[in-house]
């Protein structure tokens, strides 16, 4: 076991687009384990769009990431030292270990560290399809969109960890799943590997009219449910094809993360089509996690829920990988392998 813990701190807040200079890599001694505590060697770090919001000082749904502290982030790893009766060396665990190699946890705090079973589900999946992204997709689809068999569900960022789960869960429920993704490779993957009915490459469409026409082609019966990860032009185009009584689960608006204006051009469609639009944050709905994780875990273990991972090697690659994620350069769930 190393005696050094490498960490990445938030060095400064971005103005507009973030850069690698907003982050700082430091080395500190691996901390000593006190009574009740557990030391975890983090194996994978999850990179997620929500982190961009935390880098800002402004009002958002969450406390800003403090400057000079370890960037927050979900991790999976292995217990390497334990002075807590509930955890043993060798236990596989999921938690919020942050952008660092080792994590010291006061494991008596309920819910801070969860043991996971890697018999049928790979460890890294607990950061993706069977973790926060999977439950995010599950919540928006099941609790907000609530698709009926034969309805059409559209999801943006469809090749990502959240979007991929949304479409596959929609298919399980007998709905038609149409993805929106950037580039032919991602679209092919969404249809051929994830089993969506269709996928539209938004990069082929320069304006709302063009994208809206493409949606009409792939959604001949209109759109009954939309899972929003992007916002801007994509939301406008979807709204022009929305059916009466359609539902929009608003999960992310990555198009506006750097402060770009992303107006909704025709909110009167909410009225015309008697739509319901609902924003949510999955961490505020912990009561549904067991039900969601049970379905997601079973589907992954039985090969019915597929996903792809984009794995960057080593902690020092995290900032570049994160910036790439914000630009859609990742393909599937973005992870950093820390070991």
**Which of 16/261 has CB closer to a copy of itself?**
261
Q: By CB under 8 A, is residue 284 in contact with a copy of itself? A: yes
The pair phi, psi for residue 295, each rounded to 5°, is -65, -45
Cα distances from 109 to residues 114, 280, 282, 285, in angstroms, run 11, 25, 20, 19
**Which of 97/160 has CB closer to a copy of itself?**
160
**Which of 88/264 has CB closer to a copy of itself?**
264
Handedness of CA 317, 319, 322, 327 (dihedral sign): negative
Cα distances from 271 to residues 96, 216, 268, 274, in angstroms, run 41, 21, 5, 5
- Pick the binder of a copy of itself from 11, 25, 30, 270 (CB under 8 A): 270
Q: By CB under 8 A, is residue 142 in contact with a copy of itself? A: no
Cβ atoms of 252 and 228 within 8 Å: the answer is: yes
Closest separation between CB of residue 109 and a copy of itself, Å? 24
| Residues 61-100 as x/- pattern, contact with a copy of itself by CB under 8 A | x---------------------------------------
Q: By CB under 8 A, is residue 279 in contact with a copy of itself? A: yes
How many residues belong to the site for a copy of itself (CB under 8 A)? 32
User: Which of 233, 243, 228, 244 lies closest to 266 in space, CA to CA?
Assistant: 233
Closest separation between CB of residue 62 and a copy of itself, Å? 10
**Which of 36/256 has CB closer to a copy of itself?**
256
Cβ atoms of 127 and 200 within 8 Å: the answer is: no
The three-class DSSP label of residue 77 is strand
Structure tokens, 9? 């701190």
Other CB atoms within a 10 A radius of the CB of residue 50 amount to: 20
- Pick the binder of a copy of itself from 26, 67, 272, 339 (CB under 8 A): 272
Q: Which span sits near a copy of itself by CB under 8 A: 82-90, 155-163, 197-205, 268-276?
A: 268-276
- Pick the binder of a copy of itself from 263, 286, 291, 316 (CB under 8 A): 263
Closest separation between CB of residue 263 and a copy of itself, Å? 4
Structure tokens, 113? 């560290």
Number of residues that make up the chain: 339
Structure tokens, 191? 């249809």
The three-class DSSP label of residue 59 is coil
Q: By CB under 8 A, is residue 311 in contact with a copy of itself? A: no
Closest separation between CB of residue 116 and a copy of itself, Å? 28
Q: Which helix (H) or strand (E) holds 198?
A: strand 198-201
**Which of 40/235 has CB closer to a copy of itself?**
235
Q: Match 């959604």 to its residue by tokens.
A: 219
Q: By CB under 8 A, is residue 56 in contact with a copy of itself? A: no
Q: By CB under 8 A, is residue 57 in contact with a copy of itself? A: no
β-pair partners for 250: 228, 279
Q: By CB under 8 A, is residue 265 in contact with a copy of itself? A: yes
- Pick the binder of a copy of itself from 15, 28, 60, 114 (CB under 8 A): 60
User: Which residues here bind a copy of itself, judged by CB under 8 A?
Assistant: 59-61, 231, 235, 244, 250-253, 256, 261-268, 270-281, 284
């Amino acid at each position: 076991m190393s005696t050094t813990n490498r960490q990445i701190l938030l060095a400064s807040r971005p103005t507009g687009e973030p850069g690698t200079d907003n982050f700082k890599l430091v080395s500190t001694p691996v901390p000593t384990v006190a009574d009740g505590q557990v030391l975890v060697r983090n194996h994978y770090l999850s990179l997620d769009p929500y982190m961009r919001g935390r880098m800002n000082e402004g009002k958002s749904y969450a406390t800003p990431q403090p400057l000079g502290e370890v960037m927050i982030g979900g991790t999976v790893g292995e217990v390497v030292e334990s002075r807590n009766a509930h955890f043993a060396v060798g236990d596989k665990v999921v938690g919020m270990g942050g952008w660092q190699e080792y994590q010291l946890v006061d494991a008596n705090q309920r819910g801070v560290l969860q043991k996971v079973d890697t018999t049928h589900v790979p460890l890294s999946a607990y950061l993706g399809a069977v973790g926060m992204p999977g439950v995010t997709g599950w919540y928006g689809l099941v609790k907000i969109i609530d698709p009926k068999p034969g309805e059409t569900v559209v999801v943006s960022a469809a090749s990502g960890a959240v979007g991929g789960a949304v479409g596959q869960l929609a298919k399980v429920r007998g709905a038609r799943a149409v993805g929106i993704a950037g580039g032919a490779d991602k679209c092919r993957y969404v249809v051929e590997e994830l089993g969506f009915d269709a996928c539209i490459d938004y990069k082929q469409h320069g304006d709302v009219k063009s994208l809206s026409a493409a949606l009409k082609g792939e959604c001949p019966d209109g759109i009954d449910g939309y899972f929003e990860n992007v916002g801007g032009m994509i939301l406008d185009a979807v709204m022009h094809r929305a059916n009466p009584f359609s539902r929009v689960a608003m999960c992310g608006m990555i198009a506006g993360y750097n402060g770009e204006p992303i107006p909704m051009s025709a909110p009167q469609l909410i009225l015309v089509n008697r739509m319901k639009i609902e924003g949510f944050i999955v961490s505020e709905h912990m009561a549904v996690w067991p039900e969601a994780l049970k379905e997601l875990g079973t589907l992954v273990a039985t090969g019915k829920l597929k996903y792809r991972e984009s794995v960057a090697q080593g902690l020092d690659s995290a900032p570049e990988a994160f910036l790439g994620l914000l630009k859609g350069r990742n393909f599937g769930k973005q992870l950093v392998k820390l070991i």
